[in-house]
């Protein structure tokens, strides 16, 4: 069994104050493969103190110094890419063939670095100087479904801004969190600037969210957990950036290429075994065309190769845990009980896989907006197809959700499609499967979150704004904030 017996605090690998550990279960084999140190509130206190001590000096570093640091982090990270790929296959079941999970983080680091080269930390409004300054100590709480990339996006923009960090990865992906700390150590991040404390949300997560010496909390996870983080942070009025749950809709207009829309929806929805907050898990199809899209959906869903994520031929691994496996199956059962029509997949394990938390790619039609499967985030490879009568009803169904993270529209007439895109209440909307851009903001409406990550908007989450008066001459040499 692999051993990860240390936390990373103040530039040193250190054992928890109270010797504790947790075993990580390989979801493919249903057996423990690694043991990681488990921190407590007391360990989080130490990490916060180290970050606070380091803030004054790190926040005063120049842009060029931070760019050089990010370059060193990129080099160190890229030397460990294959190790990351193998590790997340073991801890959360992500296939090694899914290279986006391990190449994406380096791309986000480069975006942050390049943005930093040009970002105006000082600008002007009239005769006033407007400064943007690092907010302070940041608590970064990351999920398991994008175990490296989500943590990297938070971390790299915090460093770019000049902030110091206490990072808490998910317990399910604590081993890749430890490897990321090793990368930062190898890159020469100054002591105390980045600290890693594995731990449970009720201990470490609650401590960093409440602590008065933490200035900002960035959290990605479920909406329920996000509410708890927000409530804990409220007493000290911290900056919050929350990326939470989603139940994204894909509206397929009658003039869309139905086969392309259907196959794309399956691939995007079932990517990462459906464990993606932006997954288009509701596909809205005109009532006259539902039966036309079903064969494409079924064929594409059955094209996935389920199996050991360490094998290069596998395109879908297991879901992350026994608890997640049960939750997904419970949602499938609820759809059956409530009268949805199962067209592929279901409750049974995939053929030949009698061990591991494997869920068949599953598609339901005949879903109505009031069904559980249409309203709750399943977070698994399950698609609900809902019929609509006209464009207005499609938008009403799509927006009738507590969530507003992502949205998707397929159609031929661009003017009509743009009208539907503009009507969706979601933070990111893609037309005809257009790819997203790492420079653009990511975040949600409604209970899908607060704030934005990535690009300029992501950097500014880690910056305070200061208005300075009395330096009119100096202000005239700065770029205007607007215009």
pLDDT digits (tens, 9 = 90+) for 246-275: 999 999 999 999 999 999 999 999 999 999
Active site residues: 243
Domain check: are 277 and 344 in the same one? Answer: yes
CATH number where 404 lies: 3.40.309.10
479 lies in a domain? no
Give a yes or no: residue 7 inside a domain: yes
The pLDDT-based confidence of 356 (bands split at 50, 70, 90) is: very high
Q: Looking at the DSSP assignment, which residues form a beta bridge with residue 252?
A: 285, 410
357 and 259 in a single domain? The answer is yes
- Domain residues for the domain of 296 are 249-431
Residue 286: which pLDDT band, with cuts at 50, 70 and 90? very high
Give mean pLDDT, residues 230-256: 97
- Do 148 and 20 fall within a single domain? yes
Residue 483 belongs to some domain of the structure: no
The verdict on 125 and 207 lying in the same domain is: yes
Specify whether 364 is located in the same domain as 264: yes
Assess whether 214 and 357 both reside in one domain: no
Could you tell me if residue 339 is left (phi over 0), alpha (psi between -120 and 50 degrees) or otherwise beta?
left
Q: Is the pLDDT of residue 243 over 80?
A: yes
Give the H or E element holding residue 68.
helix 63-78
Residue 213 forms part of a structural domain = yes
Asked whether the beta carbons of 137 and 158 are under 8 A apart, the reply is: no
The single-letter DSSP state of residue 371 is S
- The phi and psi torsions of 404 (rounded to 5 degrees) equal -160, 50
Q: Is residue 482 part of a domain?
A: no
Q: Helices H, strands E: what count in the chain?
A: 16, 23
**pLDDT tens string 167-213:** 999 999 999 999 999 999 999 999 999 999 999 999 999 999 999 99
SS3 of residue 203 by DSSP: helix
Q: For the chain, how many structural domains are there in total?
A: 2
DSSP annotation of 273 reads G
User: In this structure, are 148 and 274 located in the same domain?
Assistant: no
480 domain residue, yes or no = no
Would you say residue 474 lies in a domain? no
User: Do residues 232 and 361 both lie within one domain?
Assistant: no
Question: In terms of domains, do 384 and 371 share one?
Answer: yes
For residue 86, is it within any domain? yes
Residue 283, pLDDT > 90, answer yes
Q: Enter the tokens of residue 162.
A: 């000049």
- The CATH number given to whatever domain includes residue 209 is 3.40.605.10
The pLDDT, as a whole number, for residue 192 is 98
Query: pLDDT category, 94, cuts 50, 70, 90?
Result: very high
> Are 256 and 224 in the same domain?
no
Same domain, 289 and 421: yes
Question: Are 270 and 309 contained in the same domain?
Answer: yes
* pLDDT above 80 for 424: yes
């Amino acid at each position: 069994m692999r051993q990860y017996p240390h936390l990373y605090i103040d530039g040193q690998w250190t054992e928890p104050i109270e010797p504790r550990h947790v075993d990580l279960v390989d979801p493919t084999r249903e057996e423990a493969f690694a043991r990681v140190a488990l921190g407590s509130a007391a360990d989080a206190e130490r990490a916060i103190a180290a970050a606070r001590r380091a803030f004054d000096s790190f926040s005063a570093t120049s842009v060029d110094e931070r760019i050089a640091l990010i370059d060193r982090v990129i080099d160190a990270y890229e030397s460990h890419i294959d190790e990351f790929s193998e590790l997340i296959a073991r801890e959360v079941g992500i296939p090694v063939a899914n290279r986006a999970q391990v190449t994406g983080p380096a791309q986000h680091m480069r975006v942050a670095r390049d943005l930093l080269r040009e970002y105006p930390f000082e600008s002007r409004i009239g005769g006033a100087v407007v400064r943007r300054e690092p907010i302070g100590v940041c608590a970064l709480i990351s999920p398991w479904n994008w175990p490296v990339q989500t943590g990297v996006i938070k971390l790299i923009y915090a460093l770019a801004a000049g902030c110091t960090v206490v990072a808490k990865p998910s317990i399910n992906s604590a081993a890749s969190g430890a490897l990321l700390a090793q990368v930062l150590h190898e890159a020469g991040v100054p002591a105390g600037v980045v600290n890693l404390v594995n731990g449970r949300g009720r201990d470490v997560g609650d401590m960093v969210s409440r602590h008065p010496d933490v200035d900002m909390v960035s959290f990605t996870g479920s909406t329920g957990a996000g509410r708890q983080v927000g409530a804990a942070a409220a007493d000290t009025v911290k900056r919050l950036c929350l990326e939470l749950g989603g139940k994204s809709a894909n509206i397929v207009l009658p003039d869309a290429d139905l086969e392309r829309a259907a196959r794309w929806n399956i691939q995007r929805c079932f990517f990462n075994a459906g464990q993606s907050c932006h997954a288009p898990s509701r596909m809205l199809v005109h009532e006259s065309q539902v039966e036309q899209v079903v064969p494409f959906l079924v064929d594409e869903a059955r094209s996935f190769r389920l199996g050991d994520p360490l094998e290069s031929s596998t395109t879908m691994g297991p879901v992350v845990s026994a608890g997640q496996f049960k939750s997904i199956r419970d949602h499938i059962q609820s759809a059956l009980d409530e009268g949805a029509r199962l067209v592929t997949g279901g409750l049974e394990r995939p053929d030949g896989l009698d061990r591991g938390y494997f869920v068949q790619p599953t598609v339901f039609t005949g879903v109505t907006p009031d069904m559980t499967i249409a309203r709750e985030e399943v977070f698994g490879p399950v698609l609900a197809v809902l019929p609509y009568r006209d464009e207005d009803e499609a938008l009403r169904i799509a927006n009738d959700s507590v969530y507003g993270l992502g949205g998707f529209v397929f159609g031929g007439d661009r003017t009509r499609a743009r009208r539907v895109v503009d009507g969706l209440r979601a933070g990111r909307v893609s037309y005809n499967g257009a790819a997203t851009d790492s420079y653009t903001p990511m975040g949600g409406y409604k209970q899908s979150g607060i704030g934005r990550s990535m690009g300029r908007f992501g950097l500014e989450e880690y910056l305070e704004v200061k208005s300075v008066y009395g330096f009119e001459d100096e202000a005239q040499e700065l770029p205007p904030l607007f215009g």
